Structure 1
Amino acid sequence: MKKKTSSKENLFILLAILIMGILFYSSSQPYSKQTVAPMLETLLKNEPLKDLLSTVHFNYAGSEVSIATKGYSHFVEFFIRKGAHFGTYFLLGLFWFLGLKDKMRSTELAFLISWLLAAGYAAFDEFHQSFTAERTPLFQDVILDSVGALTGILIVYLFVRLRKNRKRK
């Protein structure tokens, strides 16, 4: 391990831990306390783009996702919730990588460790949801979260590599 430590790197690690705490708290809440469907019904009462969105249907975790099966507001909420999964884990992976990249022997090792921390936490978080009323742990969410983390890490990793290559030239 490298011995170089900066307060900026420690801040990124702290942000990653903060996100994990927020995720833990969120996973402790039943769906009825988190749903935004009633608010969407009010905000989107005219159901914009309904005709276009009605053509979208697919299976997620063994259930059909469509306006016909979920209703308009719950269909839109599905994408908001899955976007939140992806985005939160994008940030979690990104913060872990930014916090660890200069503390590790190599950026590749930091890449791997950061992804394993985020993906491992995604699995733990879904397990934790199994103890929460109105929540269902889904393997598909672990995959979505892991891909979100991988995307965040990969973007920063590529930026770091490009920057190193430019400095060499």
Structure 2
Amino acid sequence: MNNRSKNKQKWFWGVVIAIELVLFYSSSMTYKEQTSVPFLEKYFKNQPFHDLLSKIGFNYSGKYQSVANDGYFKFVEFIIRKGAHFSIYLLLGLFLCLALNIYFKKNIFLKVFVPWMTATGLAAFDEFHQGLTGGRTPLVDDVILDSSGALVGSLIAILILYLLYRHKSKKELFTM
């Protein structure tokens, strides 16, 4: 492995560690410390997209989530929080895949599977840690959502790596 590859890999591991630190800090906070409802009530008094959001509803972890059941601001916060779950684990899966890529050069299954399962294990640990925090409830559904985000992130990383490899191969063909 050349120095450039080592530097990239260190950077990828640095991002993975930074994401984990953010997740650990976040799961250490109580719901009251983390809620965005006061912010939403203050800055979104006109309730943008209320009509559209009031038509949406779904079951999540045994509860029907909707504007009618939860109110506009709590429903918007719920969507933001679950979007954050998916997004942060998408990034974690992506950067874990990039960091571990060097170890699984020839095996595409392991390139996806190991980062995905690592992120899923970290999600389960994060939910356990969250359960030790007052006013928070660990949910299996959140682990599933996090795991889905990590899988998508791993697949995106594989696609990026494939496209970069293909581009590099084409470039080499034309420079010969």
TM over 0.5, shorter chain: yes
Post-superposition offset of 1:162: 3.4
User: For the residues of structure 1 that align with 2:56 and 2:36, how far apart are their CA atoms?
Assistant: 21
Post-superposition offset of 1:17: 1.5
TM-score w.r.t. length of structure 1: 0.91
User: For the residues of structure 1 that align with 2:90 and 2:83, how far apart are their CA atoms?
Assistant: 10
- Equivalent residue, structure 1, for 2:70: 70
Counterpart AA for 2:51 = D
SS in 2 for 1:134: coil
Post-superposition offset of 1:122: 0.6
| 1:21-75, Cα deviation, whole Å (9 max, x unpaired) | 1101110110000000110011110112212211111110011111111111111
Q: CA 1:148 to 1:60, structure 2 compared with 1: closer, same or farther past 3 Å?
A: same
Greater relative CO, 1 or 2 (CA 8 Å, sep 6+): 1
1:99-110 aligned at under 5 Å gives the runs 99-108=99-108, 109-110=110-111
Conserved? CA contact 1:94–1:149, under 8 Å: yes
- Equivalent residue, structure 1, for 2:32: 32
Conserved? CA contact 2:111–2:158, under 8 Å: no
Counterpart AA for 1:134 = G
User: For the residues of structure 2 that align with 1:33 and 1:125, how far apart are their CA atoms?
Assistant: 17
SS in 2 for 1:48: coil
User: For the residues of structure 2 that align with 1:110 and 1:53, how far apart are their CA atoms?
Assistant: 38
- Equivalent residue, structure 2, for 1:135: 136
- Equivalent residue, structure 2, for 1:153: 154
User: For the residues of structure 1 that align with 2:45 and 2:91, how far apart are their CA atoms?
Assistant: 32
User: For the residues of structure 1 that align with 2:164 and 2:26, how far apart are their CA atoms?
Assistant: 37
Q: What is the number of residues matched between the two proteins?
A: 167
Give the CA RMSD over aligned residues.
1.7
1:1-169 aligned at under 5 Å gives the runs 6-108=6-108, 109-166=110-167, 167=169
Write 1 or 2 for the structure with the bigger share of helix: 2
TM-score w.r.t. length of structure 2: 0.88
User: For the residues of structure 2 that align with 1:85 and 1:46, how far apart are their CA atoms?
Assistant: 26
SS in 2 for 1:29: coil
| 1:116-152, Cα deviation, whole Å (9 max, x unpaired) | 1111101111111111111111111111111111111
Q: CA 1:53 to 1:47, structure 2 compared with 1: closer, same or farther past 3 Å?
A: same
- Percent identity between matched residues is 49
Conserved? CA contact 1:93–1:118, under 8 Å: yes
User: For the residues of structure 2 that align with 1:114 and 1:6, how far apart are their CA atoms?
Assistant: 19
Conserved? CA contact 2:58–2:64, under 8 Å: yes
